[in-house]
Structure 1
Amino acid sequence: MQAEEAIDAVTSAAIGAGVPAHDATVIRIGENGVVLLPAACVLARVVPRAAKGSDPRREIEVAALLASRQVPVVHPARPEPIIVGQYVVSLWEYLPDSRPADVVVLAECLRRLHRIPAPRDLLPYLSPFDGFEERLKTGASLDMSDRLFLRHLRDELSARWNTAEFALGEAVLHGDAHMENLLVTADGREAFVDLEAVCIGPPEWDLTLTALYYECGWFSAKEYIDFAHTYGFDVRLSPSWSILRLIRMLRMTLWLAQSADIDPQRQRQLRHRIDTLRDGTAPAGWTGY
């Protein structure tokens, strides 16, 4: 998706919905697009109609479900997505004075989320390897040996995942639970954002990113201890920890591969991640983007 395509789709959708769009500004472009409409205080998400794993209508339903269960969540600005050519646009409230939550607030909100009843008629079950082949194919910086290695690692982890044991049962998951996906406003309101990965599965999945980021050196020991203590469980003690961390590292590597070809620093970090996955030293030396 190009920035111009995202702007055109959002502008057309906003005009049809009676929302000012003269100041539309691209925030992020990747597999999906995020466009800010400052005058309307609206954030628009743009998804290709053919995209697998993205369902804007379900995201809106998920937001309503979470809100009804007193889980802090961003609210849709329009109750239905809008189809514009080959794209689907959903409009969401924009929280201009917000910042990413700290790890304690993240732990508190995840604990609340994981306690609500799981609506199996609305949410899919966690499938950690969805989109793997699509991301592998679009990773322009990956050579043939990289692709063979990553596929072999996927196959090995998939077999282990099928027999994995989890200590915490099943729950509603955010699916991509990190601090930037939980915002806190200046007046103290909390809100989960980016709801496309919400699903049902083991709570350990939502706890793994913070533990892995600590292993990467992105959090202090005190921050991680506070996170685990607040939630009430240290995922590193789970019988599935070794599988969870490797799956997450595989996903983080593929995510970086999507944009590594446009940035020499990202290319170097991608090469480092693959090398350390090969020799078993990952995530030593991993940097964030």
Structure 2
Amino acid sequence: MLLGPVADNAVFRIPAARLVVRVASSVGALPRVERELRVARWLASQGFSAVRPAEAVEQPVVDRERVITFWEEIEDPRQATPAEMGALLRRLHALPAPPAGLVEPLEPFVRQRSHINSATGIDAEDRDFLRDVLVRLQAAYADLEFALPTAVIHGDPHRKNIVVGGDGIPVLLDLERFSLGPPEWDLTVPAVYRNVGWYDDAEYAAFTDAYGLDVTGWEGFTTLAAIRELRMTAWLAARTGREPRLIGEAQRRIASLRDPTAPRRWTPGT
């Protein structure tokens, strides 16, 4: 049973074996996949609730230029509530430093230029605008002074990457962007969700209450929020060539980036 998209990773479920199989589309993904497995095993050693590799299988498996991994299935999953996300991220950010070399420093702009360059469904002027925004935000990020100490961070803790199994325990998924970096990077995601209309004020308050901090009070928040919005826009725009149905939403997001004061009412790019 296919569970996920095939652009970067196809995700299949094998119910009889209670396994989930991820298939990366290129052998070039091998270093990343090996790192994800090491991170998952380290999180397990810390007693942290994250997706677990299937240890009965020697992996990763490379077959016909594809990289295949096997993971324990989470039974009866549902999306975590904002409060559950906040509590899990608080525990994540409090973990001890991992062994040297296990986790790389955060790269907030990874793949952004390639996403923009491949956004063939939007016009050249919009692509040039996104490139200009990227350069401006790279400079702004370099000048940030973070308030929180460096920690292990998920890197992309959106609402599909934290689920709750049938046992009621929240579980962290998708460790591809797991990094060492500022916790503010993770905390900005739900704040941006509120900005674009995906969380209401009560949901965001539930997240901040559970975590114990509202990142919007930090002076660097607007820069991180702008970077997150660019990433969300570039990722979606990169799909417009093969999915023309997304062109209108990409244009809506680009118009928002052109006017930072404009209300944002974005549609998730599923």
- TM-score, scaled relative to structure 1: 0.86
Quote the offset at 1:40 in angstroms: 1.9
Give 1:266-285 correspondences, 5 Å limit: 266-281=246-261, 284-285=264-265
Which position in structure 1 is the counterpart of 2:35? Answer: 58
Which position in structure 2 is the counterpart of 1:13? Answer: none
Quote the offset at 1:133 in angstroms: 2.3
> Does the aligned pair in 1 maintain the 2:36–2:176 contact within 8 Å?
yes
Quote the offset at 1:57 in angstroms: 1.1
Deviation digits for residues 159-194 of structure 1 (CA, Å, limit 9, x no counterpart): 111110111121000111122211111221221110
Which position in structure 2 is the counterpart of 1:249? Answer: 229
Whether 1:161 and 2:141 are equivalent positions in the alignment is: yes
> Does the aligned pair in 1 maintain the 2:119–2:127 contact within 8 Å?
no
Whether 1:124 and 2:101 are equivalent positions in the alignment is: no
> Does the aligned pair in 2 maintain the 1:71–1:109 contact within 8 Å?
no
Over aligned residue pairs, what C-alpha RMSD do you find?
1.8
Moved over 6 A (4+): none
Whether 1:76 and 2:53 are equivalent positions in the alignment is: yes
Quote the offset at 1:283 in angstroms: 5.8
Deviation digits for residues 108-134 of structure 1 (CA, Å, limit 9, x no counterpart): 110000011222421010011111222
Which position in structure 2 is the counterpart of 1:92? Answer: 71
Paired residues, what number? 265
- TM-score, scaled relative to structure 2: 0.92
Q: Which has the higher contact order (CA 8 A, sep 6+)?
A: 2
Following the alignment from structure 2 to structure 1, what is the Cα–Cα distance between the partners of residues 11 and 195? 30
Quote the offset at 1:67 in angstroms: 1.5
- Consecutive unaligned residues of structure 2, counting only runs of 5 or more, are none
Deviation digits for residues 69-109 of structure 1 (CA, Å, limit 9, x no counterpart): 12211111135210112111111112241111101111111
Letter of the 1:191 counterpart? V
Whether 1:196 and 2:179 are equivalent positions in the alignment is: no
Following the alignment from structure 1 to structure 2, what is the Cα–Cα distance between the partners of residues 33 and 190? 23
Whether 1:37 and 2:17 are equivalent positions in the alignment is: no
